[in-house]
Structure 1
């Protein structure tokens, strides 16, 4: 059993607590590529106490889970739960190509008191119609686990889960949310089909406000913008989210729109082949702990670092 709610109460618990802006954490490594626990704690404290995020999505693709051992992934979960206790929520990324690893990470998450887990749809080869396979995958996870499960689907895995499939999976008792990284017509349809059974979210910060206003969304289960486009003295994502939840839509749009130069500056220097390294260097320029990426990822070149510094300088973000 989850330490916070019974399995049959997972949906109700999520409806009450799985709210606001939840950012995907980056994982800092030392120069020798070992896990930088002190640096991770420092980042967690900044995200939780300074940026006051609603929750954190720990060790997903942004966090380089694919280059980490199971023991390291568990350790990042533990550190996040410790630092977040009483302050914000934690969803742990248990995605893996091996089902036993998924279940091991999920049970560890339950045991240490994480709020929810997120599991990416399985990587499937030679499949043209994956619906029955994917449904059975999540049905088995739901049967085996008590903790609330968030689905995660993205074109990177080779297929898109249909809104109808997601709605069917949403009927399972402890399926509580989805990070649905698809075009708006698909996630809008899922919201219409099953928005009362599953919290629908997508990764795009630029679409978040419209989805609060037009679709009634309460959750932004996202990537890195909440700690890359906000600082101790400039928290416009938090600000427009709060205004939107208060029904002050015009004010919220004005604040959201004022971030356009920062969004454009961030995109302008981002290399196509090494997004995690770019994220980590931008973090360092904001005073957070970044560090190198692990293979197979590539670190930034000196020229790419210079372009990043120039982009931040024209972003309009307030740094102090």
Structure 2
């Protein structure tokens, strides 16, 4: 059998397969296209022309689907050959579509539905029916709402979470732990931090230098703590960190690591070196025995003791007493 005859037979077969759905697809609101095993466009609707920005007759004359639009999923190409490999109907979300002739950074956000056409007698793949839903506008709108939501709980200067978010997040975590059996609970520790002599930094170097210091300390906090930890700007030069699943000892280690990193950081603003240190107070919430506010008060008392004892140090409050774990006096 010649290739021309074989191709004609395959075209007739896929057309016959598609005929079962032809009346149904007339009422589809989404774009669709029928592709044969060689990637050629067999059928398409006006919505596909709108999505691709081409006239329908141009689409139907295209040599292949890939010459009109190319897809990618998680950064990997998803051409007609990859789509042809699916043996059963499937939906694929979060697909990127790139139109021919458009800049690389202009992409569509798509949901694809694939229905393979297989010749029943031989099991040969004839092609597939491809449904495309363009959700670019919806995705962009969701991203805008997401950005606004993030902005509402993020401090604009430091990009850390706000005090309001802290006061919402911590009680919810404590409440969740209180509903669990004791053997399923994990520790929740809090670290309260304060930049030493921050007023003197503002007075000596200026408020822009003070902002520079706040940004740098915040950056170091993000680098030092885990991604699961919640770093917040509590107000002014004071910071708070929630450490889920961190014991008293581990929270102290993390706080001291931060203190050391801030001390070691060389901060230069407008050619002036600004020495910066940090004092910290640590407490672990005793779930079921105290409120989160009481644990915060213990962390605050530990922080006060760090500053009283000479600053640039970490102090812990174990519920009964304050323990100084690291001290590097900076004077008064």
- Decide which structure has greater strand share: 2
| Structure showing greater relative contact order (alpha-carbon pairs closer than 8 Å, 6 or more residues apart) | 1
Instruction: Say which one has the larger Rg.
Output: 2
Q: Report the TM-score, using the length of structure 1 for normalisation.
A: 0.22
TM-score, scaled relative to structure 2: 0.21
